[in-house]
Structure 1
Amino acid sequence: MLFTLLIPLIVAQNPECSSAYCSSCKTNPNVCDSCAPNYILIDGTCKYFKEVVPYCAISSENGCSSCMLGYYLKDGKCQIPPNPLCATYKGDKCIVCVDGYYAKAGECFECVENCYECSSMTQCFECLDGYGFNGDDCVQSLDHCKTYSYGSSTKM
């Protein structure tokens, strides 16, 4: 025996408006002024935000307000980052780079040789595995040595 369960679709809509998902239509019942949550107003019609703005995590009336991980927000749309070395964008400027690079003026620059984490070309905070500090430089650790006198891999 086959049973079919019919569940009515509940639409968040102002009954005075003819457009689906429309929450306000002040001047004309056929033209929407604002939309229900998760819908974006485009030319008087409400569209589901994920259809209009791919990779959007959180929508707003003007488009997207937050993108999925790995994308950045520009002009209400989620875009693939132009710089694969950037870990975090603010607008279209990079503010945090991947390990081994530092952010300056919205761009990513490489740390000094053998440096894992830095804030500038001359300021290394942590050396790569197998390297330790000798002054401000990251130098290769001695094999089979428990300690060495020229420092550690992390600056304090």
Structure 2
Amino acid sequence: MADPSPLIVTAALDDGAFAWFEDLRQSHFPRHRNKVPAHVTLFHALPGEHEDAVVETLRAACARRRPVQVDVRGPWFLGNGVAYRLASTDLEQLRAELAGAFAPWLTRQDQARYRPHITVQNKAEPDEARRLLEQLQLEFEPFPIFAEGLLLWRYLGGPWALVDRFAFDAA
């Protein structure tokens, strides 16, 4: 019987980008609440009982793609934290394609407008978040990163467990 725990789909960032954002997350996310690594979520909760179909869909979509440039646009205030806004037409097109394939299973959150971002602080006090935002804005200059594939995770009530990795491997 398939595990019914929800599945999460994120972009697999290039090593340098992942390390940079993970360092920020480790530095600024409240430790007792930081249960997952830095990530760019495409889908928050696909049904675990459809894991085989999700895997097949992700594998097929990734086989047709090359690494995707994602532009980091700057820090964004979340109220109780800070994230970096991202922009990528290619990533948004991929997400839209996958959303079509997963349409019967999408939660309200995953049906909403897609706003790609990487959260580096959340569940902090608003004043602490504002201070971090100001600090990060002072230092920020836009830069590109790359998504090299997709990661499939299983939600475990807080932490996530990696299920599989799918590389963008079109020749």
| TM-score, structure 1 as length reference | 0.17
Of structures 1 and 2, the one with the larger relative CO (CA 8 A, separation 6+) is 2
The structure with the largest strand share of the pair is: 1
